[in-house]
Amino acid sequence: MALSIVHRATGIALYVGTLMLAWWLIAAASGPAAYAHVQAFTGSIIGRLIMFGYTWALMHHMLSGIRHFVWDLGYGFKANEREALTWGALIGGIALTVLIWIIAYAIGGGR
C-alpha cells in the first residue's frame, strides 16, 4: 500500500528528469563544447548520484507500473499476491539498477 506513493514520487522525479534528457540531446546536437559541459556534470559525484537515482526511479516505476497492469486486468488482489507484486517491484527495481550500473562500469562508462 505504501508503495503507491513511491510510484507517484518516482513518476514525479522522472517528470523533472526529462529536463536532463532534453539538455543532453540538445547538447549533443549543439556540438563538442556543449556536450563536454553535460559530461562534466554527469561525470561529477553529484551528477553520478543523480544518474543513479534516475536509473532506480525509472526501473522501479516501470516494475511498479507493470504491477498496476496486473491489477487493471483484475488479477493479484489477494493479500499474498499483493505482497508478492509489491516486493517484486521493490527488489526487482533495485536489482535492475545495480545490474545496469555494473554493466555500465564494465563497458567503461565509469571513466
Binding site for other proteins (CB under 8 A): 8, 11-12, 14-15, 18-19, 21-22, 25-29, 31-32, 34-36, 62, 65-66, 69, 71-74, 100, 103-104, 107-111
Three-class SS state of 44: coil
Q: Which of these ranges, 76-84, 85-93, 97-105, lies near ligand HEM under the rule CB under 6 A?
A: 97-105
Instruction: Provide CB contacts within 8 A for 86, sequence distance 6+.
Output: 3, 67
What number of residues does the chain have? Answer: 111
Q: How far is CA 53 from CA 38, 48, 74, in A?
A: 17, 8, 32
Nearest-10 crossing angle of helices 32-43, 3-30: 150
- 44 lines the binding site for ligand HEM (CB under 6 A): no
| Binding-site member from 20, 70, 90, 98 for ligand HEM (CB under 6 A) | 20
- 34 lines the binding site for ligand HEM (CB under 6 A): no
- 16 lines the binding site for ligand HEM (CB under 6 A): no
Q: Which of these ranges, 13-21, 78-86, 87-95, lies near ligand HEM under the rule CB under 6 A?
A: 13-21
- 39 lines the binding site for ligand HEM (CB under 6 A): yes
Reading the block at residue 26, the C-alpha cell is 540538445
